Structure 1
């Protein structure tokens, strides 16, 4: 967009509307802003308008921050003004119950009436770090550093949290989209865009529920052929599903179905924000391994054991190195070190020893990936070790994952790795998980093949009639007899059954 209206712009620094506009100004946006506030002449130094209809210029995007009850009226004015893109930051719609659901239905109707694409409501909006745009409508977080990752989330708070953690790990973003209640624009629209976006190389999704499952599968499958898609799907438990409903009003769905859907579409699934960052950090800069054979380098036996257990747990294998590699390693590794994988180089291992082992293991045809870990040592120049790790992590055809296992003691070597844009971890488990993510995605990518579509004879109209008319119980599920009928309409063989309304009917049957 080149011209943006902020409807509901406030002069109160404590208000969401004020902070939203302030973020937009501070983002470095080179276009024009048009605040709309009927009670102000100026907002944050910009001339204010009583209505969007008073603005003489054509507006590309409107950001609405007014109270929810007047959003339909404001959106109607946007439609009359000819605005075709709107972000509704305001909350208070279907996530609060019946009253909010009615309001949300109104804005959906207005959007269709005027052909307006709507992001939200109940969202933070968008961040675009592209040099020719630079726009941030998030009131809760500053502009992130520019990078290759794009993120789509139903939760604005999850966006803020992930961005904060990512900032510390040196992960940059191309675009972030907070879709909230997704009355119009959803994760399918986002994937369709990011699939062909040259500034996006990795896509992250935080999902609470998917309404258009078949369309999602189709676009996700097309996308994962080009670039990795990592998803965090929440609401996996019945309790979590209820929490989802009260958050954005979404229906969480049955988790086993999502699990199968993601796998078949080639999507890499994670189960926490931490795991998402662990895997994206490796995918940003490391090549995909050809197999699951891992070599583990350490300077302490215990960390090697932890890494070994984690390797096996995650479906990786310890590489059996070639005899020639073993002999080569012995040339510069002392006899009291262990060269059995994990390769325990002992506490006095310096940068020269680490480099010698890394270089030769990466050359070994039996090794698909290398994890190089170091426990802090006062008598060793850890910064020099970090430089050698960065050298091989940046210039190799196989992944090399560095890990400095500590916190305060490893700040300087970690800063070197961050500056060199290579992955870094501070726990053995995370380093292994990073390799696991690379391997899993490489396998998912191999498995995405064009399959012949299987056609089932389905009586859709009969099934639809039941869904439209059937009485739903208090838990929101179909009655058993209706569920069985639908299964039969979709070609599933069910056990022979009859329905009894009372005890007498049971005896008759």
Structure 2
């Protein structure tokens, strides 16, 4: 298969690799994924696997120092034992995220005619994912979202979430979704809360909650970088990662640099969800390209946070079993 001629994106190197059994998935991933802020180490449309198999690409990218995360659209698995051996070996080093086509009866019939893929029980496939550490994606958008998450140079080492928000309703949404994913939202220390309250006095409207979630209510966009980073710096030491829901424009280079500096200082990810998605499409893409997972809606972000936390739990379990 070849990518259709109209797909032209700048040749900017990155850490996302993609293999798809569909020219369409590869095409959309290259074009729209780039617009989303993803940067690629390689994209391959593999068709019916008549020569190379999906796991051959996993193995290649597993040994490629430029590849940080592997994405895949798979309709059929050839040589399941070999697939599982390679997938587990690679997934211990790098995340593998797969969107499986043909999970329904009708979908399986269509994939048989599309790529000659034999039907596999979806429950068996899910068991393979659990055994190998593969992360299941629910669709192409979810695959891109996961690519953005795992492009971050650091990962959550636990399940404790900090919330810094311009939108109280968004914080509630994150807490609700997080509880279903096994995430915790711990209270921060009285000392950290006092520092936040003191700094924010006169800068933002009064709020009943400055203790995780830190509700900023409404900030001066001109002071966004300083306000966000001060709140984050006081929350970060007591959590494993932070979720920030903001109205400020990520097209502002100074804001993105400030967020990246906090991330690098604490070695913990900062996830971003847009306060106003209609005005923040370009900014979220720029923030993703800087290594900060960014989303237009908090539920997309939370899904990816859950995947990252669960992957770390899987790795810890495997390492403990190997001792």
Give TM-score, length-normalised by structure 2: 0.88
Q: Relative to structure 2, which stretch is displaced further, 187-196 or 260-269? A: 187-196
Q: Distance in 2 between matches of 1:413 and 1:204?
A: 23
The match for 2:78 is 211
Matches within 5 A, 1:46-65: none
Confirm or deny that 1:191 pairs with 2:58. Answer: yes
Matched residue SS, 1:292: coil
Matched residue SS, 1:348: coil
Confirm or deny that 1:151 pairs with 2:18. Answer: yes
The match for 2:8 is 142
Q: Which has the higher contact order (CA 8 A, sep 6+)?
A: 2
Q: Distance in 2 between matches of 1:395 and 1:416?
A: 20
The match for 1:342 is 213
**Following TM superposition, by how much is the alpha carbon of 1:266 offset from its aligned partner in structure 2, in angstroms?**
1.3
Match of 2:313 among 429, 443, 462: 443
Confirm or deny that 1:355 pairs with 2:229. Answer: yes
* C-alpha contact 1:294 1:316 (8 A) present in aligned 2: yes
Matched residue SS, 2:234: helix
The match for 1:369 is 241
CA 1:382–1:408 in 2, change beyond 3 Å: closer, same or farther?
Answer: farther
**Following TM superposition, by how much is the alpha carbon of 1:415 offset from its aligned partner in structure 2, in angstroms?**
6.0
Matched residue SS, 1:285: coil
Q: Distance in 2 between matches of 1:305 and 1:264?
A: 33
**Following TM superposition, by how much is the alpha carbon of 1:422 offset from its aligned partner in structure 2, in angstroms?**
2.7
The match for 1:101 is none
Listed as ranges, the gaps of 5+ residues in structure 2 are none
Match of 2:168 among 290, 293, 301: 301
* C-alpha contact 1:149 1:201 (8 A) present in aligned 2: yes
The match for 2:129 is 262
CA 1:138–1:192 in 2, change beyond 3 Å: closer, same or farther?
Answer: farther
Matched residue SS, 2:199: coil
CA 1:172–1:386 in 2, change beyond 3 Å: closer, same or farther?
Answer: closer
Q: Relative to structure 2, which stretch is displaced further, 414-423 or 333-342? A: 414-423
CA 1:415–1:190 in 2, change beyond 3 Å: closer, same or farther?
Answer: closer
* C-alpha contact 2:59 2:86 (8 A) present in aligned 1: yes
Deviation per CA, 1:126-185, whole angstroms, max 9, x where unpaired? xxxxxxxxxxx6545235532112111111111101112211122111122211111121
Confirm or deny that 1:400 pairs with 2:270. Answer: yes
* C-alpha contact 1:286 1:393 (8 A) present in aligned 2: no
CA 1:353–1:159 in 2, change beyond 3 Å: closer, same or farther?
Answer: same
- Greater fraction of residues in helix: 2
The match for 2:184 is 317
CA 1:263–1:419 in 2, change beyond 3 Å: closer, same or farther?
Answer: closer
CA 1:357–1:450 in 2, change beyond 3 Å: closer, same or farther?
Answer: closer
* C-alpha contact 1:326 1:339 (8 A) present in aligned 2: yes
Q: Relative to structure 2, which stretch is displaced further, 399-408 or 387-396? A: 387-396
* C-alpha contact 2:35 2:285 (8 A) present in aligned 1: no
**Following TM superposition, by how much is the alpha carbon of 1:416 offset from its aligned partner in structure 2, in angstroms?**
5.1
Matched residue SS, 1:209: coil
Q: Distance in 1 between matches of 2:254 and 2:171?
A: 22
Match of 1:180 among 47, 62, 65: 47
**Following TM superposition, by how much is the alpha carbon of 1:383 offset from its aligned partner in structure 2, in angstroms?**
6.7
Deviation per CA, 1:280-301, whole angstroms, max 9, x where unpaired? 1121124121211111111121
Deviation per CA, 1:292-326, whole angstroms, max 9, x where unpaired? 11111111211111222221232222122223222
Matched residue SS, 2:294: coil
Number of residue equivalences: 313
The match for 1:236 is 103
Name segments (4+ residues, structure 1) moved above 6 Å.
none
* C-alpha contact 1:402 1:431 (8 A) present in aligned 2: yes
The match for 2:35 is 168
Match of 1:391 among 254, 261, 269: 261
